[in-house]
Every structure is written in structure tokens, then in C-alpha cells.
A and B are shown apart, each in its own frame.
Chain A
């Protein structure tokens, strides 16, 4: 906001009056569209989430009643299917976030380090290869994924070469964690987990991990976003100085340590960004579910975003759907704020780093 306060010029009042009008004229299309299609919709949906509107006629008509927190209560503590569906969708998405965010961050950083070396031959080709999945639409990628991970598809074929009998990916509702536990002989949950529940599903069900179907979608998310975030890291790497031996990881232990103690701290702001973006994006999984699984198998790919859509548009429970959307909204905001707070408050050992952070903050406010 420094630009605002810092007066660059004082050209006389006439010119400024003209500017005032022009300013509003120039921003009016934007204001109109953002107001109409973002702000008003949000207010309207907020109303619907507190109303008993049944999907016919206007939600603002007189026959629609204010029902207080009923919709929110049904979804979070009603004890019925609404709560259970919401709980299941939260479980699914939480596992998705927990796996996608760290892996995509690590992988994109790794890719960036690999292709950042200035002497690397053909690095443009490699960058292009890694980035290409990011330009395609989520619909096209999902279609491709459904084929790759079909029962007799490419992935299972490859697995069979190494003697692994691949799972029936998109039709397998078993949770990955439970499958692994089963392998070591634990097939039922302990009483403590099965008897207590949160959001309508037992803690044992919470612990199931992503289903194998969801796991395929997790791999897809990592595949499509790692290229994008690689670009972010590349930009950051170029900014922290090409002289740094950023890609020396393969050179031995010394380089490894240098990476941890020098390169990574310099990249800290970018890591923050990537993790934040990851969190925002991974809580909004919709396209893949709509295109691919529609929540199946066994509701294990149901996400809050898709559930909100489905509840409203096909289930005709508009209040519930809107309530889910707002809960999701709050979750995303809180998580992001929490994550930024958590990462910011950590003690910063080096003076230089502190200075960097500080300079960032100043820019942030200046932007």
C-alpha cells in the first residue's frame, strides 16, 4: 500500500478530478462482475444455508423460512445419513490432503533441483515434460487416469511384470492403512477406536487411510501439480542465486548437507507458498470426482466439495449443500491461517533469514 500513500505527483486538481471519474470507469466492469457473481452469490448462499428452501421458486420468496442453524446441525451432529456422509467426505479429503501436500511439495522441489542445473543438457526438454501434465484439464487427465488404472489397464500390466497382482484400483473401497494392517494380521479395530466416533463415523473408520481408489486420485494430483510447483521453485532457485550449488544432491553427503542448511532455508518462502496453495487446492477436489468416480466405490472418493454439489443439485437439499460449502470455506481459511501462523512463528536461527522474511513482509504490504 506504499504506492497509495506515496504521492508520486501532484499535477493539479483538474487532472485529478478527471482521474477520479476514469478510475471508477476503469474499474466498473470488474466491480460489476465481481459483485454480481462473487459477492452477492456468497451472501445468497449464506441465506440459503440458514433457510428451508426446497429448490423450487426463489430462495428469497416469502414462503422460505429462516431455520437458524438447523442445516449446519444436521450436517455436523444430526446423527443421520447427512452427518455420516459429511464425516465420510471429511475423512476422505483429510487423507487426500495429508498425502498430496507433502509429496507434491517434495517432488516438485526435487524436480526443480534436478532441472535447475545450468550445465544440464536438454533441460528445456525435461522442464517441458514435467510441466506438460499441468496444462491439460482435470477432465482430460481424469479420463486418462481411469484408463491407466482400470482393472486390466496399463498400471496393472506394469505391476504384473514385476510379479505384483495389481488391485482393482477404481473399484476398491478398502482403505490403504487398513489393508497394510491386515497384512500384519490386524483386521479389526480396537474397542477404543470402534466404539467412539466423530461426525458419524467411528475412529476406526477414520483411520482407514485413503481407499485404493482415492489413492489413484492422489497419485493423479501429484502427477498434475508437481510441474506447476516445480516452476515456482525454479523461479525461486534462480532468485536465490545461480551460484548456489543447489543441485549438488547427487554429489555426496556434503552436498546433501549443503542442501539442507543452505538451499532449503533460502527456499523457505516458496515452500510456504507451495504448501499453502496445496492446502487450498486439495480441499476443493471436485472435477476429478465429478468426472471419474462420483464418490464411488463405497463413498470413499466422496469429497466435501462434491458432496455439497450433490446434496444440493441432485438431492434437492439446498440448505444442507450450502451449509457444507460454508463449513468447507471456513476450514480452508482456518487451515491456511493456521499453517501460515505455525510456519511463521518458528524461531529463525539465522539473522539473514530473519532479514529475508522481514523484507518479504514489507513487500507483502506494499504489493
Chain B
């Protein structure tokens, strides 16, 4: 940090100089100001020249770009095509996922004769944004539904969902999740739902059996109390809407209803109050508050008897806690019935891609029943197409609860700006224990209304 410090020492010197400049140390003042003005002018002119030259880093005009590729792209729905190799960017959960995707893409390349390289993003949203802004995005990439609207709106994405041969096979809620402005943008690559994951050993030690799996909130209250001890809490989950939201769904609420913000409904208040009361009595806890990075860690380290997590927990447990026995059951019903949340990503296609045709074909290949079942086997999530459901259930009978959730799962709002709103909601949820559920939900409501306009 010596560097920092010296830079700053000289920054001080600078301020002295600036001060003197304005204090008017005699004749120096005017000249210096004039100098500064002159420099700014010269460099400003430089900037203009730079602009005029067009700058090789930018595609100043999308249409130019498209015509340069010799095909018509963008709005018309026709895809660009060229001989260029494809770049695929994924956000990987680990080596298993990376290898599985690499193998699949390699197989497709061998088949189609089009080169394609898979890279793993360290920070997917940041790398995507910089790629779009720089005009050099990957051709095909993981895209979260909450990012869809923003990128679709500024023209970074090429919609191709309707071109897919298997488009009718996708679950309707998933298609809805990736539809913006009535256009089905991208192929859902798979999906997960949340379920209740139980540590079998703790469960049995507490004298509970399969008969005792909680069916309702009352049951959940009951077993959580039984399971809470000095060593562990009954139920743990992340301090975020992406977990707490299941209670809102079970209460009959949710952030949106018929595309309208409904965050401050009585159902949602009831849900947060339920969670709050159990955070207070210590039978529920946020994962971070008991020192775990996420639910799986809390379960594996026996810091919690039950957690709310999605399909990805199977991979996590296998890698980090292979000796821990657990069961996956459906979440209990609340006053409003069944409720869970679903998560999905799609294979986004860049508007700036020069080989959209090939990329869309690759996406179709990667979402085929065969490939999705391989992926599911390798790293957990469920196939996004209905035709693969039966085989998946046969292969994974112990995980059936996840797929059962698909029938009643809600998804995260996808309006432009919803990432910020949910981010703010999550920040407030972290202090739910001492907060006012109604006030929290009202602020979420007003934030949602602001972006829903």
C-alpha cells in the first residue's frame, strides 16, 4: 500500500497547488488557469478526433454490423450465419457442470463441424455486461430470467425461441419466464424448484419418522421445535426472497399477481410474520446467522436439521458432505395452499453474434431430452421439457419432490429493474427478526410499482 500512500501524498501536494492557484499567488494564477483551459481544450479535441475515427472497439451501428455479416438480423427474427467459431460462456457450479457442458458442446461440434469453445465466467453478470457494452459478447451464454428484460430492452439479445423445434415441449411457466414483450427469447436450459431437505440422522435421533414429515405450517412449527437443540436449529434458509418467498407463496401471496405488484398483501404480511416469529424463538435461522454459507452447508455441518434448498443441493452434498444422509420432501402447505419457487436459466443468444444460426442449433441440441438427462445426472437440475419428466423421475425417485413442485411453483419477477428491487428486499429481509414485516413489504411494493409503470 506504499503505492497508494505515495500517490495520495502527492495528491495533497496537488491540492496545495490548486489552492494556491485559487488563492492567487501573484502572476502565476492567470497563466495556470489559462494553461489548464488550454490543455482541456486540446484533449477535448483529441476525444472528438477519436470519435470521428470511429474507434475500432465499437460497433457504432448495429445495422452496419449486421449487413457486414451479409445477413439480416435483429428485429426481423432472421438469424445471422457465418463460419465463425462459437463462444459459449457459462456460470458453473463446479467441475461436474463444466465438464458436462464441455463434453456436450464438443460432441455437437464434432457432429456439426462448427467449432465452439466453452469458458467459465468468474462473475457472469459482470462479464456479460462488459461483453455487451464492448460489442464482443459470447455467442451463447447462461442467462437468468431477471436479466432478460434489461438486456432485451437495450437490444443486446436476439430472440430465437420461436425458431426452436422443441419449443412446445418446454414447460409453460418456463416459456413465460423467458418471454418479454410477447417474444419467447431463449431456450430454458433446465430448472430447479425449492423443497424441504431433511438431515435423516438428526430426524431419527429426535424420534421422528417419515410419518412426521410436515404437511402444514403447524406441523413445521411443531417439528422445528422438536429438532432445535443447543447444537442445531430446526430449519435454516438463506436470508433472501429466493428462499423466504416460499412462505409468501404458501400463504397465497407473492410479489406479483396478474403482472401487477402485490407485495404488500395481507398474505405476504402473514408469511413474513410467521417466519419472523420463528426466527425470534430460535427454531428457524438464516444460514449466515449460524455460520453457514448456504443451506447445504448448514445441513452438512449439522447446524440445521432441515433446510430449504433446490436441486443443486444434491451436487453440493455429494462433493462436500458425502456421508450425510438426507431426504427431500415437498414443502408444507400454508394457509393459501402449496407453494414454492422455481429457478431457471436459459441459453441466451447475443444480438452481436455473427453466427446466431449455429448458436440456436446448439441451444436446441443442449436442451434435447437426451442432453438434459445427462446434465441432470451430472449436476442436478431438472430437464426443462415435459417429455423428459418421466424418465427423470424414474432415475431420481428420491428427488421426486422437486419435480412435484413444478406444478405450483412461482417465479421471480422479471421486470426491468427487478434485480434491484429484490436486492433491496433481501437487504431488508436480513434484519427481518427486528424489522416490521408490513413496512418492509410496503417499501417493496412501492419499488415494484416504480418499475412496473
A residues contacting B by CB (< 8 A) are 1, 35, 39-40, 43-44, 54-58, 60-61, 80-81, 84-85, 134-136, 138, 150-152, 168, 171, 173-174, 224-225, 228-229, 231-232, 273, 276-277, 280-281, 296-299, 313-316, 318, 336-337, 340, 361, 364-365, 367
Contact = CB atoms under 8 A, between A and B. Distances in A.
B46 interface: yes
Contacts of B58: 57-58, 61
B15 A80 contact: no
Given A173-B430, A337-B19, A58 B424 contact: no
Given A134-B1, A173-B431, A336 B450 contact: no
A211 B193 CA distance: 33
A321 B150 CA distance: 16
A280 B14 CA distance: 12
- Residue among A280, A296, A314, A336 with the highest chain B CB neighbour number at 10 A: A314
A56 B427 contact: no
A60 B51 CA distance: 7
B12 A56 contact: no
Contacts of A81: 417, 420-421, 424, 447, 450
B59 interface: yes
Given A40-B47, A340-B19, A364-B17, A313 B61 contact: no
* Minimum-distance CB pairs A-B, first 8: A151-B291, A171-B288, A54-B154, A58-B58, A364-B16, A277-B8, A299-B427, A298-B430
B420 A56 contact: no
B110 interface: no
A364 B20 contact: yes
A43 B419 contact: no
Contacts of A232: 5, 9
Contacts of A60: 51
B50 A40 contact: yes
20 contacts: A35-B43, A40-B50, A43-B44, A55-B154, A84-B424, A85-B420, A134-B5, A173-B427, A228-B4, A276-B12, A277-B11, A280-B11, A281-B8, A297-B239, A298-B427, A299-B424, A313-B126, A315-B150, A316-B154, A340-B16
A314 B61 CA distance: 23
Given A35-B46, A152-B291, 10 more contacts: A1-B28, A40-B47, A55-B133, A56-B135, A61-B60, A225-B1, A228-B1, A276-B12, A280-B8, A280-B11
B55 interface: yes
B40 A39 contact: yes
B155 A56 contact: yes
A316 B129 contact: yes
B2 interface: yes
B44 A224 contact: no
B8 A135 contact: no
Nearest to A302: B427
Interface in B403-438: 417, 419-421, 423-424, 427-428, 430-431, 434
B447 A134 contact: no
Nearest to A297: B430
Interface of B: 1-2, 4-5, 8-9, 11-13, 15-20, 25, 28, 39-40, 43-44, 46-47, 50-51, 55, 58-62, 125-126, 129-130, 132-133, 135, 150-151, 153-156, 239, 286, 288-291, 417, 419-421, 423-424, 427-428, 430-431, 434, 447, 450
Contacts of B420: 81, 85, 315
A57 B135 contact: yes
A315 B147 CA distance: 9
B129 A174 contact: no
B288 A297 contact: yes
B1 A138 contact: yes
B235 to A, nearest CB: 18
B129 A171 contact: no
Contacts of A61: 58, 60-61
Contacts of B59: 57
A214 to B, nearest CB: 13
B301 to A, nearest CB: 10
A37 B18 CA distance: 22
B74 to A, nearest CB: 12
- Residue among A171, A225, A296 with the highest chain B CB neighbour number at 10 A: A171
Contacts of A1: 28
B51 A150 contact: no
Contacts of A365: 16-17, 20, 25, 28
A134 B2 contact: yes
Given A55-B132, A337-B19, A228 B424 contact: no
Contacts of B40: 39, 43
Given A298-B431, A314-B125, A56 B132 contact: yes
Given A1-B28, A81-B447, A313-B126, A277 B430 contact: no
A357 B133 CA distance: 50
A317 to B, nearest CB: 9
Contact of A273 (B9, B44, B434): B9
B1 A135 contact: yes
Nearest to A138: B1
A108 B153 CA distance: 52
A316 B9 contact: no
A58 B55 contact: yes
